[in-house]
């Protein structure tokens, strides 16, 4: 069963409602997290909650529940839904108040949903995906996991209109990240990815993949990459909580090599982490 949690109550997801004056609805005034549950274990939950706390602090929202209370709500959602594999979406907003740009003196609001996991076709992992390079038109604080995702949506839709799965964003001549993913490249057996600055959302999957690379003694360079560098790479892949590690077969009109030994090795290592073990909570 898919469920929603709001105002302290669980409901069937199709029956859940929010007040019209909810600031998440009116302004996108809030932050969120997305956690994948594998075999009854919420993967990297501590890292996700760390980031939720950082994002909330960055926009001056005090979380309405403690960390332990939020973990208890997450586990209640898992128990009530009976889902062993699931997508959990957590949203914290500045609260409910008549529309006004100034911050209201009201408590923050927590919402959560638990759903069946979104599935990426196995063919995408085998053949790779097409991507499109687009100008990064987002704001300057992309390290905050904000509800304001309109530029990301426009980029993703523009890519989809060209038959591409993901938009790879470019700012000031350098790759930042995907519209909903982080970007990696392999060149001469070295793993490259954009540095974790304010220009990107440093993904939880990104962090896990970097650790997998370290465990396999793969050399890592966090440095800015140009579009031409990416197109000339031996291998390219994207990462996110929803897709895990997904190879890229095409950037714009440039086809990439189909031999992806490093990508395959890292994907295998990552899959071992998501096998439902509590060691990677």
Characterise 25 by phi-psi region: left (phi > 0), alpha (psi -120 to 50), beta (else): alpha
Characterise 231 by phi-psi region: left (phi > 0), alpha (psi -120 to 50), beta (else): alpha
CA 83, CA 235: separation in Å to the nearest integer? 35
Residue with tokens 């929010």: 18
CA 210, CA 98: separation in Å to the nearest integer? 44
CA 264, CA 274: separation in Å to the nearest integer? 15
Q: Is 84 a catalytic residue?
A: no
Torsion of CA 170, 173, 175, 178, to 10 degrees: 0
Phi, psi of 11 (to 5 degrees): -140, 160
Contact between residue 182 and residue 212 where contact means Cβ atoms under 8 Å apart? no
CA 187, CA 273: separation in Å to the nearest integer? 25
Indicate which residue of 39, 145, 162, 199 is catalytic. 145
* CB neighbourhood size of 12 (10 A): 10
Calculate the alpha carbon distances from 33 to 30, 144, 233, 249, 261 in Å: 11, 11, 31, 29, 31
Active site residues: 145
């Amino acid at each position: 069963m898919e469920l929603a949690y709001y105002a302290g109550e669980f409901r069937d997801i199709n029956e859940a409602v929010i007040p019209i004056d909810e600031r998440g609805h009116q302004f996108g005034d809030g932050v969120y997290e997305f956690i994948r549950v594998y075999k009854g274990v919420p993967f990297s939950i501590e890292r996700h909650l760390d980031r939720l706390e950082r994002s909330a602090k960055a926009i001056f929202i005090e979380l309405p529940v403690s960390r332990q209370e939020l973990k208890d709500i997450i586990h209640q959602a898992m128990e009530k839904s009976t889902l062993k594999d699931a997508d959990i979406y957590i949203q914290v907003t500045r609260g409910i108040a008549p529309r006004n740009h100034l911050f209201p003196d009201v408590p923050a609001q927590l919402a959560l949903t638990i759903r069946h996991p979104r599935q990426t076709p196995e063919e995408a992992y085998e053949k790779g995906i097409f991507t499109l390079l687009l100008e990064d038109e987002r704001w300057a604080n992309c390290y905050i996991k904000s509800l304001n995702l309109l530029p990301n949506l426009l980029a993703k839709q523009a890519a989809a209109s060209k038959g591409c799965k993901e938009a790879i964003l470019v700012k000031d001549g350098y790759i930042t990240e995907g519209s909903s993913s982080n970007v990696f490249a392999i060149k001469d057996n070295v793993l490259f990815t954009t540095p974790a600055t304010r220009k990107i959302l440093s993904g939880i999957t990104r962090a896990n993949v970097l650790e997998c690379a370290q465990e396999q003694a793969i050399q890592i360079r966090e440095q800015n990459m140009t579009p031409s560098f990416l197109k000339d790479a031996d291998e390219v892949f994207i990462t996110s909580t929803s897709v895990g590690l997904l190879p890229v077969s095409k950037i714009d009109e440039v086809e990439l090599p189909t031999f992806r030994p490093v990508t395959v090795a890292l994907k295998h290592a990552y899959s071992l982490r998501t096998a439902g073990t509590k060691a990677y909570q």
